[in-house]
Structure 1
Amino acid sequence: MKLLKWLLAMGCGALVSCAIITVNVYFPEKAVKEAYKSLDEMLLKKDGELLPNGEKQPVVEPKLSQPGSQSSLPLVLPDFSFTSVAHAAESGDDLAIELGSMPEVAAAYAEMSQRQSALGALFNSGAVGLTSQGLVTVRDKTKAGAADEALVSAENRSRKTVISSMAKAILKITKQEATKAALDQTMGKAAATYAETKREAAKPGWWMQLQNGKWVQK
């Protein structure tokens, strides 16, 4: 009997731990996708176009919904937290404003804007493709020289800045603790969503890698 009680106690503890972990890695996919698209429209300019004057937009803190009466059962508590967090990012506006106010993100978009024409030409020729993590990779080295490879490396640094900043913004806006585990899991999902956004914006004929690793042409 004592052994049975001990096993039940361990099982309940494991369930509570799993529930807490789930709350910590809440990911508002729809809002993130909207934010990426908004940022591309606002900050990703064609070569030669002037960027905005650099003034920071005010950060709008989302209002969290207040939980109702709390149950004394420990397994119910994470549900209230999850609901509050979910309401914190119903649209991508807050995320876009938060991300756009980061100097490193503005700088990354300014740099990416200067590469658009050259990068587009590489995509059109089939020299490069879009990876499943939203980065650019050289697929045909016979069509890409040293300067092109340097451009791809620089582009990926900018994209990584945007993705990592998105992960931080998500945790801040949704009021989640920015632990290493939470950042790592959010970063992976932020990269996958960024890649999905870029796939949708890709032109016909461009090479892209699906989440299963398969390469296809749009």
Structure 2
Amino acid sequence: MRKLVYGLLTMLLVALVGCVTINVYFPEAAAQKAADQFIGTVLDSSAPAAAPKGSEPPPKKGVQPSAMLLDLLIPAAYAADVPNLRIQTATTDAIHGRMQARFRDTLGALFNSGVVGFTQDGLVAVRDAGKVPLDQRSAINAAVADENRDRNALYREVASANNHPEWEPQIRSTFAKGWIERASPGWYYQDPSGAWKQK
């Protein structure tokens, strides 16, 4: 009789596991929160050099034993309750430090004067090189190239750190919106058509 009960329970468990569909979706809200924290500490020249914290899920309270069993059998099914996006790694910390220093030392003044602006794809571009002397343009182009190299690496690293490299376009888009939303009045940005606008 016991063997029959164990056999039925095993078949039921196999059927349950086989019927569970796990959808892996891009956690838009978590990505926006993480991007806002990262962007805020880069753009805020008074912010300390410490890297931003990744969004952490709240502790689970009152977890039922049945939920614990499901978590052991299918961890992703239970974890989907609290979407999380990992943004802090050794690589993103290094990128963050370089971006913050570059903004404080070079890019902040260039944004304020309208020389550079945010592009619609999450990068920085020289908008009006005529506002700076000819002998300073190569240094400005180098700073913009360094910034864009770090931004591309950031978006790629966040996607990889979350084991979803296919999320890179969504992460880039989330950050692009965040850079523009956090831009100071008077700074330039590109609209979706690529036209420059002033905030």
TM-score, normalising length: structure 1:
0.61
- Structure 2 contact 39–178 (Cα < 8 Å) conserved: no
Q: Deviations over 1:143-191 (max 9, x none)?
A: 35110010011111121222112222344xxxxxx4xxxx24x111111
| Corresponding position of 2:10 | none
Residue 87 of structure 1: which of 54, 65, 81 is its match? 81
C-alpha distance in 1 between matches for 2:182 and 2:144: 18
SS at match of 1:213: coil
Preserved CA contact (<8 Å) 1:43 1:106: no
Q: Which runs of 5+ in 1 are unaligned?
A: 1-19, 70-80, 172-177
Partner Cα separation in structure 1 for residue 43 and residue 191 of structure 2: 24
- Which position in structure 2 is the counterpart of 1:51? 49
Which residue of 137, 151, 162 corresponds with 2:143? 151
Q: Distance in 2 between matches of 1:191 and 1:204?
A: 23
Count of aligned positions: 166
Query: Which ranges of structure 2 fall in alignment gaps of 5 or more residues?
Result: 1-20
1:177-206 alpha-carbon deviations (Å, 9 max, x no partner):
x4xxxx24x111111110111111101121
Preserved CA contact (<8 Å) 1:129 1:206: yes
Q: Report the Cα offset of residue 110 of structure 1.
A: 0.8
* 2-structure distance, mates of 1:137, 1:35: 24
Compared with structure 1, are the counterparts of its residues 188 and 43 closer, same or farther at alpha carbon in structure 2 (3 Å cutoff)?
same
Say whether residues 1:209 and 2:190 are aligned partners. Answer: yes
Preserved CA contact (<8 Å) 1:123 1:207: yes
Distance 1:127 1:140 in 2: 5
Q: SS at the partner of 1:151? A: helix
User: Quick check: 1:115 aligned with 2:102?
Assistant: yes
Q: Give me the whole-angstrom Cα distance separating, in 2, the residues matched to 1:131 and 1:86.
A: 33
CA gap of 1:103–1:34, structure 2 versus 1, over 3 A, is same
1:133 to partner: Cα distance: 1.4
Cα 1:193–1:58 shift into 2, 3 Å: closer
Maintained 8 Å contact 2:117/2:189: yes
- The 3-state SS of whatever aligns with 1:87 is coil
Match of 2:87 among 82, 92, 99: 99
Residue 175 of structure 1 corresponds to which residue in structure 2?
A: none
CA contact (8 A) 1:28 1:86 kept: no
Give the letter for the 1:138 counterpart: V
Question: 1:7: which partner in 2?
Answer: none
Q: Report the CA distance between 1:28 and its aligned residue.
A: 1.2
After TM superposition, the score normalised by the length of structure 2 is 0.66
SS at match of 1:208: strand
What amino acid is the match of 2:144?
Answer: V
Structure of larger gyration radius: 2
- Quick check: 1:132 aligned with 2:120? yes
Identity percentage of aligned residues: 32
CA RMSD of aligned residues (A): 3.8
**Residue 33 of structure 1, CA deviation:** 0.8
Distance 1:29 1:36 in 2: 10
Picking from 137, 153, 157, the partner of 1:161 is 153
